Amino acid sequence: MVELRQLDFAVTHMPVANFGLGVEVLAPMTIVLLCREGDDRWPLEGEITPDALADVPLILLRRRSGGGIYERIIEALASAGVSCSVVADCTDTSAIYPLVERNVGVGLLPVHALHKPHPGFSMHPVALLSAPERLALIYPRGRRQLPAVQHAMDLCRKSLRA
């Protein structure tokens, strides 16, 4: 939507492969398992290991086009020798919650340190990727932004880098 000038800027996951966009890396993200609160399959402390995800129905975040977190997770599970079962993929994190709520599977998604799960859900860190996912601010390169848009971008920079 930024490319089509339907949005002035956006916050998205890396990588961004469009040379017409300015890209500023803002913050690292960690991979978490999203499940219903009280799901006793997952330890309350420590990270979940890849082998604990073998044959567990997974719901993953996936881009409409290009590579991203979906491919990184699939590759990391394969490298760990884990047979995974992806039952759904979504382009938006908010779409994963209702699927988890209805017991379709558990979500594996990247989250920023400030992200808190919705009521009735819990998140558990997953030891899966060797390098963290990164969150980035993207905007049209060489395009002058209105002061209000620039202020909103600065607010994103400040809050997400903190």
Please answer whether residues 161 and 29 qualify as being in contact, where contact means their C-beta atoms are separated by less than 8 angstroms. no
- Average the pLDDT over 88-107 and give the result: 93
Could you give the C-alpha distances from 111 to 19, 33, 46, 124, 127, in angstroms and in order? 26, 10, 17, 11, 14
What radius of gyration do the chain's Cα atoms show?
17
Whether the Cβ atoms of residue 44 and residue 25 lie closer than 8 Å to each other:
no
Tell me the pairing of strands 121-125 and 85-90: unpaired
Report whether pLDDT(50) > 80.
yes
Q: Is 123 helix (H, G, I), strand (E, B) or coil?
A: strand
What is the rounded average pLDDT for all residues in the chain?
89
Tokens of 136: 């980035």
- Low-confidence winner among 71-75, 93-97, 130-134, 152-156 (lowest mean pLDDT): 130-134
Which residue type, as a one-letter code, is found at position 103?
N
Measured between alpha carbons, how far apart are the two ends of the chain, in Å? 26
For position 153, what pLDDT does the model report?
A: 93
Cα 148-150-151 angle, rounded to 5 deg = 65
| pLDDT at position 88 over 90 | yes
Using pLDDT thresholds of 50, 70 and 90, give the confidence band for residue 2: confident
> What is the CB neighbour count within 10 angstroms for residue 116?
8
Q: Which domains does the chain possess?
A: 10-161 (3.40.190.290)
Question: Given a cut of 80, is residue 162 above it in pLDDT?
Answer: no
Tokens of 138: 């993207």
